Structure 1
Amino acid sequence: MSSKQVTSTIDFSSVLAAAVHDMKNSLFLLIQSIEALSHVLPVDNTEAQEQVANVHYEASRLNTNLVQILSLYRAELESLPITVDECFIQDLVEDVIGSNTLYTNQKHINIEIEIESELRWYLDEELIYLLLNDAIINAMRYGTSKIKVSAADYDGFLQLKVEDDGSGYPSDMLTRSHEQLADFELSQGRTGLGLFFAKLIAKAHSQGDKAGTIALSNGGIYGGSVFEVKIP
């Protein structure tokens, strides 16, 4: 059989998805090992602690990208199947922040939560977790020492905000945040993938003629970047 014949019988998109899934599982085990290592390192060995925190951050960031790629494959780049259930928002946010504790502790980043304990919403908890985690990872990377995560019922929408004290979003990123999904160029690197994925998740949450939205801005309470998602 010729190489051309072999190629024609292989669905490379499925092969790629399987490879991404396998890499994601391996990364998850690596992240667990890094966390275990951080607990046995001497507290006074600050250089080693910082290196471990940086490796943990980069592994978590890569894992998020792989999850995004896998989800986009499953969604065929157009729509995203979701599983909606009632979710306590404060618990969800605390889970996301807890998964990044190693990095925030090492970098002395303070994350403030402003959410009523009884606030709950019907949404896809796994997808919103991924969306928030990516927003918080960006805030940790580009902020300085303060992050605020807030949520509230705003005019019939769940409004989630992540604010930091960094230098804010660059102008081209603010411009791209207004683009429609069909106009997005995923070749623009991680920024393009992250924004596209966030918009896809938000749009997948809809009720009647209302759909979720994403907004990026600069300012907020700390004068840095502000990531906002609204879910009907």
Structure 2
Amino acid sequence: MRGAGRLWTWFRRLPVVARLVLAVALTMSMVLAGAAGLVYWRVQTALDQQLDDDLTTYRHSLDQAVRAGTPLPPGPSGSLHQVLDERGRVLGSSDAVRHRRLLTAAELSAAARGRTVRHDVGPLLPITSGTLRLQARRVTTAGQARIVVAAVRRGHRDEALRELLGQLALASGLTLIAASYVGYRTARAALRPVERYRRGAATFADGAQDLRLDVPADRDDEITRLGHTLNHMLDQLAAASAREHQFIADASHELRTPLTLMRAELDVALHRPRTTDELTETLRSVDTEVGRLVTLANTLLDLEQLASGEHIQRAPVELARFLDDASAPYRGAAERDGRAFEVECDQETTVEVDPRWLEPAVGTLLDNALRHGTGAIRLRAVAHGGRLRLSVSDEGPGFPPDFLAHAFDRFTRAESSRTTSGTGLGLALAAAVAASHDGTARAGNTSPGAVVALDIAC
């Protein structure tokens, strides 16, 4: 068992091509050995049957001659005979075996008890002279028992079998060599794309960003599917790298302004002694910028989490209750501003969404309508055909026409909204939530006002 374990460990350490060729060679060896064994057995059986038939016929003729007391008849070419008494003394024999005992003591005893003895003299290999096949049987004549031994030479039979063995060995060897060569070439050809993919992946690991593997489009096998999988992985890695660079660029760009303002406020406060009121005002300003930083950082992290493929955990949600919960903080603000607030939806509808993400997206749209719009705010929801359409509209001036094409880009704000607080990430977050729900976001103008709609799968 320990030796087999070491052999298996050695085999597993071999290159894949070597393992495949070795496996093919071993399998073909067993198949060829089985086929050669079957052919040899069939030929040997046919030759032995013919030899046994001739030997049995000759022995019967010898038995009849001994019983009748007539001279022993000649047998087929290469045949021999001996007639023995029960003690093993030779009473008559062919000249070639006159002084040679063809039966052992045990075989002589068995024949004397009435058994038919069959025996081969000499091996098939190595080549020797005087190989025989014999049969011996007891014959009773004139009240006396005689042992009649009939034998034929096996030279032609053995020569035919040795020739067959040589031919089978030669044919099997050539077939094994050809099969191993074909297996080697096939394995190399099959694994050549894998080696090409490996070199491509190594190039990507060395810093190449736009690398894609050359995968044939006219086939669909395991290697081709591996290539498509690797290309998909490379796409994901490239997208992750792009998101990382985008996140770093966005964070460095947007965090610079509040940090600079905070540093300026603190420098002014430390430049000369300040009164309590002045310090309080400075701390309030710093607190405002800190709050902006926290909001900005949280929003950036939310966007990154959504873009990185965060799994949406859908759950059955009562649409009316969900909209009431999402709009509750903004309904009171609208009433304080004297603005109407309407929510329209089917009271009996249940949808499959992730409220953890969809609720802040709806809140962002309502907050934008409160801060940048005027007049009534309407939140509508319609579920149909496995899709949920959420829209928030107001009666304000609407979006500037040149802003609509970039409404959902990060840090994009209309000129009219730059005087109000905000990070320019609200609509980008809403669009990311819609995309994570297999949906889209759309912004447009109505008459009067603006509308932003999310169309998602539910």
Which of the five TM-score ranges fits, normalised by the shorter chain?
Answer: 0.5 to 0.7
What percent identity do the matched residue pairs reach?
A: 26
Q: Which of 83, 90, 96 does residue 320 from structure 2 map onto?
A: 90
**What SS does the corresponding residue of 1:166 show, helix, strand or coil?**
coil
Q: Which of 186, 197, 207 does residue 429 from structure 2 map onto?
A: 197
- 2:298 aligned with 1:74: no
Structure 2 equivalent of residue 231 of structure 1: 456
Instruction: Measure, in 2, the Cα distance between the counterparts of 1:136 and 1:62.
Output: 22
Superposition deviation, residue 143 in structure 1: 1.9
Which structure is richer in relative contact order (CA contacts within 8 A, separation 6 or more)?
1
Taking the TM superposition and a 5 Å limit, the aligned residue runs for 1:31-46 are none
- What stretches of structure 1 move > 6 A for 4+ residues in a row? 60-64
CA shift in 2, pair 1:155/1:191, >3 Å: farther
Q: Which of 100, 105, 110 does residue 340 from structure 2 map onto?
A: 110
Superposition deviation, residue 61 in structure 1: 9.2
Structure 2 equivalent of residue 148 of structure 1: 378
CA shift in 2, pair 1:66/1:153, >3 Å: same
Q: Deviations over 1:120-174 (max 9, x none)?
A: 2111101110100000001111222301111112443101110100011122331
Q: TM-score, normalised by structure 2?
A: 0.32
Please say if residues 406 and 412 of structure 2, whose CA atoms lie closer than 8 Å, have aligned partners that are also in contact. Answer: no
Taking the TM superposition and a 5 Å limit, the aligned residue runs for 1:125-144 are 125-144=355-374
- 2:353 aligned with 1:123: yes
Taking the TM superposition and a 5 Å limit, the aligned residue runs for 1:4-19 are none
Please say if residues 364 and 427 of structure 2, whose CA atoms lie closer than 8 Å, have aligned partners that are also in contact. Answer: no
CA shift in 2, pair 1:224/1:65, >3 Å: farther
Instruction: Measure, in 2, the Cα distance between the counterparts of 1:61 and 1:138.
Output: 16
Instruction: Measure, in 2, the Cα distance between the counterparts of 1:116 and 1:61.
Output: 37
Structure 2 equivalent of residue 217 of structure 1: 444
**What SS does the corresponding residue of 1:196 show, helix, strand or coil?**
helix
Superposition deviation, residue 108 in structure 1: 1.1
Instruction: Measure, in 2, the Cα distance between the counterparts of 1:118 and 1:67.
Output: 34
Please say if residues 80 and 200 of structure 1, whose CA atoms lie closer than 8 Å, have aligned partners that are also in contact. Answer: no
Instruction: Measure, in 2, the Cα distance between the counterparts of 1:143 and 1:100.
Output: 13
Please say if residues 90 and 115 of structure 1, whose CA atoms lie closer than 8 Å, have aligned partners that are also in contact. Answer: yes
Q: Deviations over 1:76-135 (max 9, x none)?
A: x44333221111121111112211244222201211111011112111101110100000
CA shift in 2, pair 1:84/1:63, >3 Å: farther
CA shift in 2, pair 1:156/1:74, >3 Å: closer
CA shift in 2, pair 1:144/1:192, >3 Å: closer
Structure 2 equivalent of residue 19 of structure 1: none
* Amino acid of the structure 2 residue aligned with 1:215: R
Q: TM-score, normalised by structure 1?
A: 0.61
Instruction: Measure, in 2, the Cα distance between the counterparts of 1:83 and 1:67.
Output: 20
**What SS does the corresponding residue of 1:231 show, helix, strand or coil?**
strand
Structure 1 equivalent of residue 406 of structure 2: 176
Please say if residues 411 and 423 of structure 2, whose CA atoms lie closer than 8 Å, have aligned partners that are also in contact. Answer: no
Superposition deviation, residue 197 in structure 1: 1.4
Please say if residues 109 and 140 of structure 1, whose CA atoms lie closer than 8 Å, have aligned partners that are also in contact. Answer: no
Instruction: Measure, in 1, the Cα distance between the counterparts of 2:294 and 2:363.
Output: 11
Instruction: Measure, in 1, the Cα distance between the counterparts of 2:295 and 2:322.
Output: 17
Please say if residues 335 and 341 of structure 2, whose CA atoms lie closer than 8 Å, have aligned partners that are also in contact. Answer: no
Superposition deviation, residue 187 in structure 1: 4.3
Higher strand proportion: 1
Structure 1 equivalent of residue 190 of structure 2: none
Structure 2 equivalent of residue 8 of structure 1: none
Q: How many pairs were matched up?
A: 164
Instruction: Measure, in 2, the Cα distance between the counterparts of 1:72 and 1:187.
Output: 12
Instruction: Measure, in 2, the Cα distance between the counterparts of 1:85 and 1:139.
Output: 28
Please say if residues 151 and 161 of structure 1, whose CA atoms lie closer than 8 Å, have aligned partners that are also in contact. Answer: yes
Instruction: Measure, in 2, the Cα distance between the counterparts of 1:224 and 1:63.
Output: 31
Q: What is the RMSD computed on CA atoms of the aligned residues?
A: 3.1
Superposition deviation, residue 192 in structure 1: 4.4
